[in-house]
Structure 1
Amino acid sequence: MTLTLRVLAPDQSVFDATADEIILPSTTGLLGILPGHISMVTAIDFGVLRVFKNGNWDSIALTGGFAEVESNEVTVLVNKAELGKNIDSVQAEAELEKAKNKLSQTQDKEASPEKIKAQEELNKAKAWFQASKSN
């Protein structure tokens, strides 16, 4: 038995295929989904969705959104997503360093809009970098 996984962003369908196992980056931690999983809806955090199929793991970088599990079908709706194999790891690492530097420049500010935006950019950069290294 397999799962059907659809990962959708506003501008594209990123992934639409079957999988043996899925690991979602929910806002409460990593969530493993196997065939026969109970129906549920969960919030998705910045992170890497892992897809196990035919003995191999693939990665998809995600920004926030939602996932629904229903009758062995998993639908993930996110603001942005990209297959790990399509991410340039050198560029992703450069973006990660840039985001770390930007956040360090806002450390003296309490929960300012600049600091919140810098933290969000860092979270996205981490997800893209991790996904680029996972394939």
Structure 2
Amino acid sequence: MSLQVRIMTPDRIFLNEEAEEIILPTNTGQMGVLKNHAPLITALDIGVMLIRSKNEWTPLALMGGFALVKQNQVTVLVNEAESAETIDPNEVENSFTIAKTKLEQAEGQKQKVEANFVFKRERARYQVIKQAKKM
């Protein structure tokens, strides 16, 4: 038996499939989940989720949310999710560079918080494209 992984966004079920292993981007760092993992609920940060099925890794960009692990079922509730197929490789590199520059130039607490959010989102999307090319 493996893990049943379901990723849900506010408007749809983004993914519903079996996997041998997943790595989640939690607020305290990356967390791996294998079958028979202890039950838990964790907050998710903006970042890359990795899913291993049939010895192949699939990267997905998650935009914050929560994950519930219970009885070999992983339910991920996120604001938004993207796969490498839905991200334009030419656009994402430019967006990442712009977001990085805006974060470096941000002044004041509000600007820094907003720029950091955009930067983390674009970094996750950029990392998905880079990891997808390697796999």
The TM-score normalised by the length of structure 2 is 0.93
Moved more, 97-106 or 49-58: 97-106
**How many equivalent residue pairs?**
132
Which amino acid in structure 1 is aligned with residue 100 of structure 2? K
Q: Given residue 29 of structure 2, which amino acid in structure 1 is its aligned partner?
A: G
1:60 aligns with 60
* 1:125 aligns with one of 118, 122, 126: 122
For the aligned residue pairs, the C-alpha RMSD in angstroms reads 1.0
Q: Which has the higher helix share?
A: 2
Distance in 1 (CA, whole Å) between partners of 2:13 and 2:129 is 19
Write out the 4+ residue segments of structure 1 that deviate beyond 6 Å after TM superposition. none
For the 8 Å contact 1:67–1:74, the answer to whether it is kept is yes
Q: Given the two structures, how large is their TM-score scaled by the length of structure 1?
A: 0.93
Q: Residues 60-96 of structure 1, C-alpha deviation per residue, up to 9 Å, x if partnerless? A: 1011100000100000001111112322222111110
Identical aligned residues as a percent: 39
Provide the C-alpha distance between the structure 1 equivalents of 2:25 and 2:9, rounded to a whole number of angstroms: 16
Q: Match of 1:17?
A: 17
Structure 2 partner of 1:5? 5
Where does residue 89 of structure 2 map in the other structure?
89
Structure 1 unaligned segments of length 5 or more: list them: none
Runs (5+) with no aligned partner, structure 2: none
